[in-house]
Amino acid sequence: MKKPIIGVVAILLLGLAVFAGLSFWGDGIDIGSTHFKTGSFAENMLTPPDTATSAAANVEDSVKKANVRQPLDTTSKVILFAGDSMLEGLGPRMAAYATANGHTLINVIWYSSTTEIWGRGTRLKERIEEFHPDFIFISLGGNELFVSDIKKKRQKYLNNMLEQIGDIPYVWIGPPNWKPDTGINDMLAESVAPGSFYLSNGQHFDRAKDGAHPTRQSAAAWCDRICKWVMDSSYHPIKLEVPVEAKGKCKTIVYQPEV
């Protein structure tokens, strides 16, 4: 009984070997007047699909698609603008932009605030739930220019703020440095979504008497540059055409410094 079985197995193995060998033979072979098409059996057998490479390629494609800049959104928006005392200069000019472009603006000024102060609570989330903004501006970091080991001390608070923002389109406006910082701008640039960080450091500002805040006129020019960047370069561009009128309407909420 063993010999017949061995013979059958040998025939099957021989046939498999012939089949695999033929599959290396280009597009086919000709025997007499008949053409036999060969397959890619050996190639498929010897070269299994690289599933890891395929998965990595799919992830890379998804990232590229996710980072494609969105088209200009010309619809009216509810804009929440939150931050520190820099809003005293930016807020009025942003109100003019909002009014001119059909947006509704809510300015939330928290004096002497930082990413830590905002990020250890839920005040940002509360204002989001109250006003349901379609777009958010954050101007924060001027009070953290000189914090040492800033990632260690502030990263978790920044992450909390970004979690509170969620998937709402936003732009984080970096501080208008008057001296070199210890890492706040780098941390912000590395943490916020692509196309959502506006670097103010390195620009020219006329300063108020405290040497830190831009003058009202310089802050208005700063706001002009920000709004142009939002339209021309940000990931989520919204309509922010230069206003004709110098003033506009907005709702302003003020929080005093924490003691």
pTM of the complete model? 0.75
If asked whether residues 136 and 26 sit together in one domain, one would say: no
pLDDT tens digits for 46-57?
444 454 445 444
If asked whether residues 41 and 135 sit together in one domain, one would say: no
If asked whether residues 208 and 137 sit together in one domain, one would say: yes
In a domain, 58, yes or no: no
Is residue 115 within 8 A of residue 157, CB to CB? The reply is: yes
If asked whether residues 110 and 36 sit together in one domain, one would say: no
* pLDDT tens digit at each of 259 positions of the chain: 445 555 544 555 555 454 445 444 444 545 454 444 444 444 444 444 454 445 444 544 444 445 689 999 999 999 999 999 999 999 999 999 999 999 999 999 999 999 999 999 999 999 999 999 999 999 999 999 999 999 999 999 999 999 999 999 999 999 999 999 999 999 999 999 999 999 999 999 999 999 999 999 999 999 999 999 999 999 999 999 999 999 999 999 999 998 6
Burial class (CB within 10 angstroms; exposed 0-12, middle 13-18, buried 19+) of 121:
middle
Instruction: Give the total number of structural domains in the chain.
Output: 2
If asked whether residues 35 and 98 sit together in one domain, one would say: no
In a domain, 161, yes or no: yes
Range of the domain at 30: 1-47
pLDDT tens digits for 12-66?
555 545 444 544 444 454 545 444 444 444 444 444 445 444 544 454 444 444 5
If asked whether residues 82 and 173 sit together in one domain, one would say: yes
Please give the Cα distance from 127 to 133 (Å, whole number): 9
Tokens 């440095």 found at: 177
If asked whether residues 37 and 118 sit together in one domain, one would say: no
What angle separates helix 150-165 from helix 184-191, to the nearest 10 degrees?
Answer: 40
If asked whether residues 35 and 82 sit together in one domain, one would say: no
Report how far apart, in Å, the C-alpha atoms of 81 and of each of 142, 174, 210 are. 16, 13, 24
If asked whether residues 3 and 92 sit together in one domain, one would say: no
If asked whether residues 108 and 181 sit together in one domain, one would say: yes
Q: What is the CATH number of the domain that holds 213?
A: 3.40.50.1110
If asked whether residues 157 and 233 sit together in one domain, one would say: yes
